[in-house]
Each structure stands twice: as structure tokens, then as C-alpha cells.
Homo-oligomer: A and B are copies of this chain.
């Protein structure tokens, strides 16, 4: 392995030069940048005394997020997991139903399904998108389900399929056109987990705006952050109204009376977090520009290595390149690369453990082989991908 190891050290040094001239500084996987109105808006927020569940920054960020994504409605939430939980409830997912998703995802996707007391069905991903495979979905629905009274029923368990949830892995969208058609044909709501794909477009549509509902995340590791935060996107006025209602403890509007018609959630985004996000959103275009430039540098770099493949955005998509990724030619080499890069202050990371292999999800239904998921899981490396002022 000595030759390969030398080779990898060479790659790591070239990766470092894309981000910094400092040979020793630690390069994180993805760090937020605050070079706009963050302090100004936070100070304004304190001066206003509105820091909590209501406030002008919540209204403003909801309006501006709708504008940026082109979504008719955008509802601020406390985080992306909470947003997905509510989106699933709004899509109609009920106790003991099944929700189809991918095994190659962050654990929040399936946790949200479990919060609805529903169960995930894991399908494979495509190699091009690393996201839910339309072919696997079509095969599963055709072979394993039937339509009864307009509902899609899983034959062997007699459970309804409540939703299909693709996750747009590392900012690359699933094949939304195909998934959307299949979901319509089988009467299943499509809910997009767009936690990683703010700024990613499928054709000319922003991720999260093609399904019945979509959800975004603004955790600290995302392209822009509110500390903790999420959003629900929808084009349906009634769902938007219910999203606000359920995330604000299902309290009926009244000057002083506390009346709640159903079980709600404390899932609001506080005004102080909205203030931070408002400042961050203003800078998103230049962050995205720099992330594309970094992706391009990576592409040029890895074009000269035959044993490493840089993952490019598919045709008809504009990726946010949230986390740039490469595929190594074996798990052994992936591990060797991770060892060397992290040792040399250059944070790299493999994909998540496949969800169906984790103890809490080890008894769920596997609706297809998971060949591509295993392939990607064993070979992928996420590269440092923070926005960088040198590229804007």
C-alpha cells in the first residue's frame, strides 16, 4: 500500500491547496461563514425583545425562503427533523403504515418515520444520484402492492404505503420527474427530504418543491445555518396553514384563551434563530457560487486519477454541491484515504452506515436489493466543502 499511500498524501495536499495556502491549518468538512448582517440582525432582535416564538424575523425569513425556493409556502421550524416529522403527518402518514425511503441516508429520515409510529421500507439508490431509485420504487410497487379503494396497500403486511421519501443525498436530487410520476400512478404522496439540498435545482425547480411537501435543514453543518432550524415547503395553502398550526402546539388563535383541538408540537423556529438565518440567506448566492467553483477544482483534480471518481451533478440538475464526494475503487482504499486525510488535518468522512444495518431499523422491510447503497457506502468519501471567500 506504500505507493497508494504516497499517492493519497499527494491528493490530500492538492485538496488542501483548493481551500487554503496554510499547510497546517485544520480544514473542516463544512463550516459556516458569517460575514454579512448576522450580528446586526441578532442585535436588532435583542433590541426588539422579540427573541422567541413570534417576531418579525420569522415572518421575514418565511417570505424570503419562499421567494428563494420558488415555493408558494415556506414554514419555519425548529430543525429539519421536526420539519420532516410534520411533513409526514401532513401527507397523511398514520400509525402502522409504511413509508418508502432509502437506506443510504442520515438517521433523521427514518427517525421521523418512527415518530409517526410508521415503519420504513428501504429501497436502493441510483449510482448517478445516490438517491432513491425510481426503478426500484416501480418494481416494488408493481410486485408488492395493490390498489384498494384508491389506497396503495402492501400485500404481505396489508399495510398502507403512506408516503415515499427520497433524500437528496449530499445535495444531488433524486430523479424527481420519474419518482413523481410513479407516486401519482400509485396514489402515494411524495415528500422530499431536502435537508441537504438548499440551492439545488431539478431542471428549473428547487428541490423540495416538486413533491406534495419538502423539508429543509439549517443545522450548523449545512450551506447556511440558523444554529438549529428547518423549513417545510408546500404549494398547497391548506397544508401550509396546518403546518403552522401543528408546529405551534395546535393552539387556536385567541387573545387569552388556550384551546387546542389536536395534539400539536413545539416545533417553532425562535425569532433569534430566524434573525441569524435571514442574514445567512442574503449570502447564499455567493456561498453557492464558491461551492460550485470548489466542485470544479475537485473535478479537474480527480480527472487525473483513474482510481478515484468525483461525483458530478447529473444532467438536468444544478447541485448545491453541499458535500463534494469521491468514490474510491475499494473499501480498503477508502479507509486508507480517510486515515491519511484526517491525519493530515483535512477532514474527510465516509457516508453514513446504511440505515437498515442499525439496531433500531434492523427488522424493517427491504423492498429491493441494496447493491448500489452498499457500493456507495463502502467507497464514498466526502471532501471539505465549506463556502470560501477566495471563490466569490
Q: A residues bordering B, Cβ < 8 Å?
A: 31-34, 38-39, 42-43, 46, 49-53, 78-82, 106-108, 111, 114, 117, 219-221, 225-228, 249-251, 255-266, 268, 270-273, 276, 338, 342, 347-350, 352-353, 358-360
Residues of B close to A114: CB separation below 8 A: 263
- In the assembled complex, how far is the CB of residue A281 from the closest CB belonging to chain B, in whole angstroms? 15
* A263 and B111 in contact, given A270-B273, A342-B255 (Cβ under 8 angstroms): yes
> Given A114-B263, A227-B271, A272-B273, 7 other A-B contacts at CB below 8 A?
A42-B43, A52-B219, A52-B225, A111-B249, A111-B264, A227-B270, A256-B350
Which label, helix, strand, loop or mixed, suits the secondary structure of the A interface?
Answer: loop
The answer to whether A228 and B265 touch (CB under 8 A), given A108-B249, A338-B256, A353-B258, is no
**A350 contacts which chain B residues (CB < 8 A)?**
256-257
Q: Nearest chain B CB to A248's CB is how many angstroms away?
A: 11
The docked-state distance in angstroms from the alpha carbon of A316 to that of B167 is 55
CA distance A38 to B48 in the complex (A): 13
Decide if B249 touches A53 in the complex (CB within 8 Å). Answer: no
Cβ contacts under 8 Å, A250 to chain B: 107
Give the number of times this chain occurs in the complex, counting copies.
Answer: 2
Distance in Å: Cβ of A181 to nearest Cβ of chain B: 32
What are 10 A-B contacts with C-beta separation under 8 Å? A33-B49, A42-B43, A42-B272, A79-B266, A81-B266, A111-B266, A227-B270, A261-B360, A272-B273, A273-B273
Partner of A107, one of B38, B53, B258, B338: B258
Instruction: State in angstroms the CA–CA spacing of A95 and B134 once bound together.
Output: 36
Q: Output the nearest chain B residue to A218 by Cβ-Cβ distance.
A: B52
**Contacting pair A106 B258 (CB below 8 A):** yes
Nearest-neighbour CB distance to chain B for A62, whole angstroms, equals 16
- A358–B252 CA distance with the chains assembled, in angstroms: 12
How far does the alpha carbon of A219 sit from the alpha carbon of B257 in the complex, in Å?
A: 18
Q: Which residues of B contact A82 (CB under 8 A)?
A: 266
Q: With contacts A272-B272, A276-B272 known, is A260 near B107, CB below 8 A? A: yes
Q: For residue A334, give the distance in angstroms from its CB to the closest CB of chain B.
A: 11
Contact among B219, B268, B347 for A228, CB-based, below 8 A:
B268
Contacts of A228 in B (CB 8 A): 52-53, 78, 266, 268, 270, 273
